[in-house]
């Protein structure tokens, strides 16, 4: 089996690659990203350094046989808002180019696309979100992800790929380095409190987010490649199960897991923009993903443990 991973050095990409390395059925593993922190020698692994938006890099990535693609490369929400052209070129044009390149494959490869809950938009319906909730993205990043889902579904209909798109919620805990993600404060808070450091959360204690840990997100991507894509319907897309936690509940879970007084260390702000996008998540119903075998971390303390392991 010949596998291609774009965005392979990102938070979720790195965890995914570690899982794929353990799969002895994989004959070759081609990884694409701007840089690689871990370039361990492995005869099955090829590292391609560069932007997937560069036609030369794209040509190297899609040469030869490919059986399975994980497309994770993207320009995240905050950065895509600040730099429209960069977001458009990577999130939109490169995704379409990658999908169309699969027309040359002798058999349609499985194509797992990392979409986002940003495709759903904001404000979300206060009575809950389910598989019938219409997506109304309010950021360029979300619009690009929704367009990518449509590319994947249409290419599947045409027989170019066997697609499946997963709408990922906020993934924790990201490294304490600039990521361009507005939701990075969730990871920053977990890391700071776990280390016994004070942290000011930009949204209210009662604000709610949908969360999964990095290992859980990577496991969902692996699972997506193994299921029958038809389980996700004609649109070949689903919102993944996630824990819905208030900031106070997340703080309490960090305190329980790491033996710190989270309530004393945490303080809260009231940023209306951040809260509208990442602190007003209603109940989440993921019947399609549940039926296909996707799961979340289980509970808040397990999330925190998995996030920092």
Which residues belong to the active site? 141
Q: In whole angstroms, give the CA distance from residue 62 to residue 33.
A: 14
Supply 177's token pair: 């380095």
- Nearest-10 Cα torsion for 99, 96, 98, 14: -110
Q: What angle do CA 237, 235, 145 make, to 5 degrees?
A: 55
Spatial neighbors of 155 by CB under 8 A, at least 6 apart, are 99, 100, 102, 111, 161, 163
């Amino acid at each position: 089996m010949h596998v291609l991973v774009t965005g392979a050095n990102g938070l979720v990409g790195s965890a995914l690659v570690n899982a794929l390395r353990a799969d002895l059925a994989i004959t070759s593993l081609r990884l694409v990203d701007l840089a690689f922190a871990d370039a361990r020698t492995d005869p099955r692994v090829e590292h391609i350094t560069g932007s997937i938006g560069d036609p030369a890099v794209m040509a190297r990535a899609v040469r030869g046989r490919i059986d399975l693609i994980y497309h994770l490369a993207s320009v995240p929400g905050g950065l895509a808002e600040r730099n429209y052209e960069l977001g458009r070129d990577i999130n939109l044009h490169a995704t379409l180019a990658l999908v169309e390149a699969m027309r040359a494959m002798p058999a349609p490869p499985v194509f797992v696309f990392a979409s986002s809950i940003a495709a759903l938009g904001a404000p979300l319906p206060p009575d809950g979100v389910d598989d019938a909730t219409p997506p109304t993205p309010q950021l360029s990043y979300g619009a690009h992800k929704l367009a990518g889902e449509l590319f994947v579904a249409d290419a599947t209909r045409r027989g170019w790929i066997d697609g499946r798109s997963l709408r990922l919620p906020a993934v924790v805990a990201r490294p304490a380095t600039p990521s361009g993600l507005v939701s990075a404060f969730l990871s920053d808070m977990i890391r700071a409190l776990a280390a016994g450091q004070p942290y000011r959360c930009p949204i209210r204690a009662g604000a709610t987010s949908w969360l999964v840990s990095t290992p859980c997100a990577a496991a969902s991507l692996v699972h997506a490649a193994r299921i029958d894509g038809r389980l996700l319907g004609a649109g070949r897309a689903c919102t993944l199960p996630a824990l819905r936690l208030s900031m106070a509940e997340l703080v309490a879970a960090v305190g329980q897991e790491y033996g710190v007084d989270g309530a004393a260390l945490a303080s809260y702000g009231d940023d209306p923009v951040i809260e509208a996008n990442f602190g007003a998540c209603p109940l989440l119903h993921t019947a399609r993903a549940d039926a296909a075998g996707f799961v979340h971390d289980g509970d808040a303390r397990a999330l925190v443990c998995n996030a920092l392991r």
